[in-house]
């Protein structure tokens, strides 16, 4: 394990007249040292995944709450750093699981340092900030992966394969839903349901169908302020989205589902109709006589629903950071999902369909 504050050059080999190459440039297989920025729920989960991986030699954790960083570091056998800047020179790659407003600055920091970066979605909540980070990453040439974990869920991967191999034929309709078990806790900085929640649906729609959004019509409302607080932004979002080959998508987002965390995708094609998330623990109660009975416990959080996908995306990033694989979810992918979310905000505000070419 490294000691924070002691300078270490990034792992690699010497080339180009003595200039040291990073691991991802050489493609060498070697143990790596990771900086973990953010020690909340998802940061702690990523820390455990890193600590369990055979190719990870050390994890250094930082968080605005030092006691939270210390708790995660103690749990995984890692070290604590006072901030991300102090890690530079001691780590080979960075995992950004901090609050959203820290995402773009941490990506710039990684680009300046020349180290691979994994960043939770979104890069930012506006396009200018996003574009600046995307451009910096591209110019630096570092590997970068964005945390849209559904791309690693077995059901979505299977659905994509059926689309890619033609088994579904032309798609008539795609339906998605993301229904949270509970609203965010008090003090959570909620960016609105399109950017904060349904952006996952927008990304996975592109991933599974291989198509681009061309037009959206969105609406949303809040009905439970008395139960969950007057400061709640939109808690229910509904989007009708047109894809590049004419396929239509109907997408719903809900901040409160009393039965469980319900995330699904349904694809209806010429050749077949399939569902992602139609499992025995699906948190949806049938009222049909003799209908299926929910198998408890139902998932109560995104970590319950997608634990294996979160593990798989970090394992994939280790391959990316080692130079063995291309990024499976690029900053450009994240930008496109954000464009759709912004189009939805404009559509709701102006009560009209919005073409994606308007959002640049």
* pLDDT-derived band at 27, boundaries 50, 70, 90: low
Residue 221: its H or E element: strand 213-221
d(CA 312, CA 301): 18
**Does 37 map to a domain?**
yes
Band the pLDDT of 53: cuts 50, 70, 90.
very high
Contact (CB, 8 A) for 204 and 253: no
What CATH number is attached to the domain comprising 68?
3.40.50.720
Q: Is residue 322 part of a domain?
A: no
187 and 290 belong to one structural domain: yes
Q: Is the distance from CB of 73 to CB of 98 less than 8 angstroms?
A: no
Question: What are the residues facing 274 on neighbouring strands?
Answer: 267
pLDDT at 12: 41
Note whether 104 and 230 are same-domain residues: no
234 and 193, same domain (yes or no)? yes
Domain-ending residue, one of 142, 168, 199: 142
Establish if 223 belongs to a structural domain.
yes
Q: How far is CA 359 from CA 133, 167, 169, 337, in A?
A: 18, 33, 30, 12
Task: Report pLDDT for 21.
Answer: 57
**Residue 316 included in any domain:** no
pLDDT at site 131: 98
The answer on 223 and 354 residing in a single domain is: yes
CB neighbours of 347 closer than 8 A, spacing ≥ 6? 216, 217, 218, 219, 353, 354
Q: How much is the average pLDDT of 316-331?
A: 97
CB count in 10 Å sphere of residue 226? 7
Same domain, 110 and 24: yes
Identify the pLDDT of residue 1.
27
Answer yes or no: do 124 and 95 share one domain.
yes
Low-confidence winner among 18-27, 164-173, 241-250 (lowest mean pLDDT) = 18-27
pLDDT at 146 over 50: yes
What gap in Å lies between CA 109 and CA 106, rounded to an integer? Answer: 5
Domain, as residue range, for 186: 151-301+336-358
Number of compact structural domains in the chain? 2
Last residue in a domain, options 121, 142, 163: 142
Pair (123, 195) in one structural domain: no
User: Is the distance from CB of 111 to CB of 132 less than 8 angstroms?
Assistant: no
Asked if 351 and 203 sit in the same domain, the reply is: yes
> What would the two tokens of residue 12 be?
């690699």
- At 258-299, the pLDDT tens digits run 999 999 999 999 999 999 999 999 999 999 999 999 999 999
Q: Is 254 a residue whose pLDDT tops 60?
A: yes
Angle separating helix axes 127-140 and 103-113, nearest 10 degrees: 20
Of the listed ranges 178-187, 333-342, 344-353, the least confidently predicted one is 178-187
pLDDT at 10: 40
**Does 205 fall in a domain?**
yes
Q: Does residue 306 form part of some domain?
A: no
Secondary structure (3-state) at 72: helix
Q: At which of 142, 169, 195 does a domain end?
A: 142
Domain annotation covers residue 49: yes
- 44 in a structural domain: yes
Query: Is the pTM here over 0.85, yes or no?
Result: yes
pLDDT band of residue 162 (cuts 50, 70, 90) is very high
162 and 282, same domain (yes or no) = yes
Same domain, 178 and 109: no
157 and 284, same structural domain?
A: yes
Res. 8: pLDDT tops 90: no
CATH number at residue 228: 3.30.360.10
Backbone angles phi, psi at 259, to 5 degrees: -95, -30
171 and 267 Cβ atoms separated by less than 8 Å: yes
pLDDT in tens, 165-223: 999 999 999 999 999 998 877 666 778 899 999 999 999 999 999 999 999 999 998 76
Question: At 254, phi and psi to the nearest 5?
Answer: -135, 135
Q: Tell me the pairing of strands 354-355 and 273-276.
A: unpaired
CA dihedral (205, 209, 212, 217) positive or negative: negative
Residues 44 and 161 both lie in one domain: no
């Amino acid at each position: 394990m490294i000691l924070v504050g002691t300078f270490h050059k990034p792992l690699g080999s010497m080339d180009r007249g003595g200039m040291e190459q990073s691991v991802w440039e050489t493609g060498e297989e070697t143990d790596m040292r990771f900086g973990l920025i953010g020690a909340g729920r998802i940061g702690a989960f990523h820390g455990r995944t890193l600590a369990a991986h055979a190719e990870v030699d050390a994890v250094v954790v930082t968080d605005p709450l030092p006691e939270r960083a210390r708790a995660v570091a103690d749990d995984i056998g890692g070290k604590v750093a006072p901030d991300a800047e102090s890690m530079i020179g001691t780590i080979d790659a960075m995992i950004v699981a901090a609050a959203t407003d820290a995402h773009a600055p941490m990506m710039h920091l990684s680009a300046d340092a020349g180290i691979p970066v994994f960043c939770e979605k979104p890069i930012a909540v506006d396009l200018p900030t996003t574009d600046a980070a995307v451009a910096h990453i591209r110019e630096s040439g570092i590997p970068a992966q964005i945390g849209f974990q559904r791309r690693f869920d077995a059901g979505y991967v299977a659905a994509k394969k059926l689309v890619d191999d033609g088994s579904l034929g032309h798609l008539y309709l795609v339906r998605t839903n993301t229904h949270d078990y509970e609203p965010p806790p008090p003090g959570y900085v909620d960016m609105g349901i399109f950017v904060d929640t349904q952006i996952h649906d927008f990304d996975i729609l592109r991933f599974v169908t291989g198509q681009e959004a061309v037009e959206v019509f969105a609406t949303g409302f809040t009905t439970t302020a008395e139960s969950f607080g007057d400061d709640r932004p939109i808690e229910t979002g509904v989007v009708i989205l047109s894809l590049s080959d004419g396929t239509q998508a109907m997408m719903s987002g809900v901040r409160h589902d009393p039965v469980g965390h319900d995330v699904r995708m349904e694809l209806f094609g010429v050749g077949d109709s399939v569902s992602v998330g139609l499992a025995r623990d699906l948190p949806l109660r049938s009222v049909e006589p003799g209908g299926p009975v929910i198998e408890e416990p139902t998932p109560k959080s995104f970590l319950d629903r997608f634990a294996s996908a979160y593990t798989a995306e970090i394992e994939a990033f280790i391959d990316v950071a080692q130079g063995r694989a291309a990024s499976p979810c690029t900053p450009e992918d994240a930008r496109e999902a954000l464009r759709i979310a912004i189009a939805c905000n404009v559509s709701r505000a102006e009560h009209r369909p919005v073409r994606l070419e308007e959002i640049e």
